[in-house]
Every structure is written in structure tokens, then in C-alpha cells.
Amino acid sequence: MNTEALLVRTPDHHATSGTGSSTPLCPATNPGARSSRVADRDEADEFLHQYYAELPDRPIPLTERLSQILTDIDTTGTYHQTPDELAFGARVAWRNSSRCIGRLYWNSLRVLDRRDATSPEEIHQHLCEHLHQATNLGRIRPVISVFAPDTPEQPAPRVWNDQLIRYAGYRRDDGTVLGDPAYTGFTDLARQLGWQAPEGPFDVLPVVIETADHKPQLFEFPPDLILEVPITHPDHPQIGDLALRWHAVPAISNMRLRIGGINYPLAPFNGWYMGTEIGARSLVDEDRFNLLPAVAECLGLDTSSEASLWRDRALVELNVAVLHSFNTADVKISDHHTESRRFLTHLAREERNGRTVPADWSWIVPPVSGGITPVFHRYYDEAEQRPNFHLDDHARALGRGRCPHPH
């Protein structure tokens, strides 16, 4: 994977750090044509009918509210969703997220309406509050913070990071990486913007915030806002000697929330971790921390032959360590067997309510012991439903520390 940041000089657009220093780099905002930011009338109509069908006791009749919305779109190109409409849309977007196994609690999503925030400083403060509410002293709560949408007048604010909390990756002269190799490009970019990198294996990256009226700016979260869990094993203390840790809140920040024909590119949201996300992907993937060989050595496994299944054995013990560590620290996490059963409960509940549950099998089936979980042995409807979350190429490029524009 090419994670090199593509930085070029431009005369009129600079990214700045919180200390006021600046580094020229390619313009990151991708405002698009004005017409692409106009609210979609058909989607607005569809969304409002869905809203009134599921929550019929509204203070304004459907026909009156729909007339208001369509008139606003025809006049201004967009419309303002009420706080209740926004909250309903955000929760249903989670309910419709085909790659998420943890949707049973979609209706408990805490929705923070941050559409009035205009400056990077305000946005940063709201992101800090998001982490505070989501962390909840380890009792992780599902939270979404919804910032201003795209409008015909100006593009929405953005956070360049793909998650609010990610670990830096430092390229070393011998070709190896200290930290997370997936984020070497973003780490390079952050350092270009003035970040004073500590150069440790688990350094939390700063966030880059950009608005239509402000240059991209770098912000760090106060350390006491970021809850981290040291990884130890109940039976193999050598794994603790690896000095691993992981953060408690997986807050995705580069997915575009689309509700009723309106795009909200900055709508960071989180649930809580399923253990395999850490113990079978982030700490294990070869383009991430790639720790299976080190764990196998701790366990004294024979790695000379794949037939010894040393990878499988190391993988299971690392996942045991992750679940043990979070539970010992009283930080909420779920195992893949429990979460699989919860998903089938969600499926049955939605079907009783006459709703289809879209699901991507390749994402719903856990990466460990998939065949012995109940979600493995069935087919799913893959139709995309609205409202929903979307990832575009522009957001993907920013999350990797790349300029999204061709040169």
C-alpha cells in the first residue's frame, strides 16, 4: 500500500497547526459543483414519509412539513432538518449500515446536533465532548456528532482523519515502521503541519479540521480524554511484556451521513469494540501492527511450518488477551460469539416490524471462528437503504494522508 503523503506547494491554501505555523500543501477541500450540494427532492420526500410512518405523532402534519421542505429546496437548494428529524435519520442510518454487526441498539444512539459550529476551534471542542460522552468512564456509549451539512452556498466542514483516535506510524531508515504502518502517510502529513511527534509505538495522532472559511488546522486531544487499555493475558504474562495497548472508543470520522437528500460529511460516530476488530485485525493484519509472530514467540510456538497452525493458536490467544484486558479494566467490549447472536436478535426484531435488514456477509461474519458463529450459515439482503453512511474517494484519500486531487 502506498501511504506516502502527496504534498505540493500552492500559493493560496495552507494547512496550519494550532500553534499558528503553516505548511503549504494541496487544497484538500473538495467542494464540488454547487449543483452537487443541492438537496435531492425525491430523497427528501422519501425520508419524510418514512419519518412520519415510524413516528406519526408529530406537531406539524406531514403534508404541511413536506410542502415547507420542497419550497425551501426550490428556493434555496436545501432545507434545514429539525433536531428530531436529524436524530431519527442518524439512528436509521446506523440501522441501515450493512457492514455493521452491532445494530441491535440503533435506537439508543445519542445524537449531538453540532450544526451551528463554524470554526475549527468550536469543532475541536465538540469532538472532545464527543469522546467524553462516548467514553463514559469505560461504559462506552454509542454517540454521533452531526456538524453542518453541504449546502449550495458552501461545502461542509471535514475532519481529515478516518477515525478520531488512530496511532501514528513512523518510517525508519531500515524500512521498518514503528507504530501503525497504515498511518505512515497521515503521520508524515501531521508532521508537515507542525506536529511534534513523540515517536513511540502508540502515539495518538492529532486531528486535522478544515472548514470552508478556515485553513486546515491541527488539534490534539487532551490525554485524559483518551482511555487506553494495556493488553495482558490471564495465563501468558509474556504477552504483557510486549507493552501493547489499545484505545477504548472506535469513533469513525470520515463517513458521509446522508439523510433525506442532504450530505453531512462530518458526522463522527462510535459504538464499542468487538474484540476481533483489535485482536484479529488492527494488531494482526500484515499492513497494520503484524504481531502474530511476536505473540507466537511469547507462547513458544513452532513457527517453522504452517501445518503447526501457529498463526491460528497465536490469534486465539491474542483475542483472549484483548477481551481479558478490556474486561479487567472495566471497559465495555463484546466477543464475536455474543455479538453474532445479538445480530440475529436484531434481524428477527426488524423482520417482525416489517423491515428488511441489509447486511454484507463478508463484514458481518467475524474474522475469527466465523464458521462456528450463527451469522455464518445464512444469506442476507444486500440492498442499500436510506438514510445511510457512505465513504467517498476524497475522504479515503485524506484519511491516508494523500492529496485526493490528480497531478
Which residues are tagged catalytic?
A: 100, 103, 272, 277
Element (H, E) at 170: strand 169-171
User: DSSP alpha helices (H): ranges in 96-236?
Assistant: 120-135, 184-192
Three-state secondary-structure class, residue 16: strand
Produce one character per residue of 293-317: b if its CB has 16 or more CB atoms within 10 Å, e if not: ebbbebbebeeeeeeeebbebbbeb
Q: Are 138 and 332 in contact (CB under 8 A)?
A: yes
The set of residues, in sequence order, having a beta carbon less than 8 Å from that of 297 and lying 6+ positions away, is: 303
Alpha carbon separation from 35 to 31, 43, 71 (Å, rounded): 10, 15, 17
Cis peptide bond prior to 237, omega within 30° of 0: no
**Closest by Cα among 169, 245, 178, 166 to 207:** 166
**Closest by Cα among 167, 175, 122 to 147:** 122
The 8-class DSSP code of residue 167 comes to B
Q: Phi and psi at residue 146, in whole multiples of 5°?
A: -105, 120
Say which amino acid occupies 182: A
DSSP assignment string, 387-398? SEEE--HHHHHH
